[in-house]
Amino acid sequence: VVDAGDDAAVLRLTPGHDLVATTDAFVENVHFRREWLDPTGIGARLAAANLSDLAAMAATPRWALLSMGIRGDHPAASLIDVQRGLAAALEPHGAVITGGNLTRVEGGEWFDLTLLGEAAPGEAWTRGGARPGDWIAITGHPGRAGAGCRVAMALGDAARAAPFASLIDAWLRPTPRIDLARALAGRGCVTGAIDVSDGFGADLGRLCAASRVGARVEDALWPRDPALAAGAVALRVEADALRFGPSDDYELLLAVNPARRAEAEALAGERGVPLCFVGRFTESPARVWIDGNGAETPLPDGGWDHFGAR
Ligand SMILES: [Mg+2]
């Protein structure tokens, strides 16, 4: 109703819909490094993180508010590029920038987005709906973003070489799964959801805790990711440590109604989104990993520690 440029924006919801709100910040040298992300890329990456939270709620993105803390010597043209990258990443999902704020900082710069979306009453997914027997489904290849970040820090420019391209891409240019989420929500395939922003193990733990269920994840159901294997060799770690460990992949971790699994697979297939059914939610609260030999171990759940030592 009233766009950017006034003291506040005035937004009109689709009649009868719920407002779904999220916010996510992007801080220099914590979330991004200038040598790895240009201003347009910063805008796009900021959009992706916030869009992913709305995807995890099956909400439709509508409006964004951008707040920036910028050093005094920052060239104005590059701020326009941040905004351009942000707007371009929001646009395909139907969202626009409706306002923002700019302030001067002395240290690291930061970009903070508030993204507002809407959902039909009661249709937003939550972390609390998974039931014992539901499938555990994951989009994309969790672990790649964290591996990409680690490879970039460990190898520097050598990480730009071909074997690591998909890892670096997952780290710098994640794909929010809005379109798939909207399609799945329309068919009632999903009972609970979270997006992987800290790591598969940690975010599965959060979904299980909120739903009061456990999980059995099986190696036999989850094909090896060659990209992750290449990263593991370069970093001299186990590929599974990357798959389950800290990683901001912005993929969807879903509880899928077993009666709707085929439908969910078809919807993902139509959109070219990898969707893998890696195990089941259980009545027992334990989260268990069945390895390639059939042995059961507790599923690693160490995710990104926001306040841990660097
Ligand atoms: Mg989230």
- The model's pLDDT over 189-209, given as tens digits with 9 standing for 90+, comes to 999 999 999 999 999 999 999
pLDDT band (50, 70, 90) for residue 309: very low
Residue 7 Cα to ligand 1 middle (Å): 30
Residue 203 Cα to ligand 1 middle (Å): 9
Residue 246 Cα to ligand 1 middle (Å): 14
> Can you say how many angstroms the Cα of residue 240 is from the centroid of all Cα atoms in its chain?
19
Closest CA to 135 of 298, 293, 263: 263
Residue 139 Cα to ligand 1 middle (Å): 14
pTM above 0.85, yes or no: yes
Residue 200 Cα to ligand 1 middle (Å): 12
Residue 199 Cα to ligand 1 middle (Å): 11
What is the arrangement of strands in the sheet containing 190-196, beginning at the earlier edge strand?
190-196, 251-256, 135-139, 275-282, 214-218, 287-290, 296-298
Residue 157 Cα to ligand 1 middle (Å): 30
Residue 108 Cα to ligand 1 middle (Å): 24
Residue 32 Cα to ligand 1 middle (Å): 18
pLDDT for 307: 60
The mean pLDDT of 226-240, rounded to a whole number, is 95
Cα 212 from Cα 194, distance rounded (Å): 14
The DSSP code sequence of 33-73 is: -TTT--HHHHHHHHHHHHHHHHHHTTPEEEEEEEEEEE-TT
pLDDT band (50, 70, 90) for residue 166: very high
**Which residues are bridge partners to 111 per DSSP?**
26, 68
Residue 83 Cα to ligand 1 middle (Å): 23
Counting Cα atoms < 13 Å in the Cβ hemisphere of 306 gives 7
Phi-psi region of 236 (alpha: psi -120 to 50; beta: other; left: phi over 0): left
Residue 252 Cα to ligand 1 middle (Å): 9
Say yes or no to pLDDT of 303 above 80. Answer: no
Residue 176 Cα to ligand 1 middle (Å): 11
pLDDT for 34: 86
Cα 254 from Cα 266, distance rounded (Å): 15
Residue 147 Cα to ligand 1 middle (Å): 19
pLDDT band (50, 70, 90) for residue 308: low
pLDDT for 310: 45
Residue 221 Cα to ligand 1 middle (Å): 25
Tokens 């070489």 locate to 161
Q: What is the mean pLDDT of the chain?
A: 94
Residue 186 Cα to ligand 1 middle (Å): 20
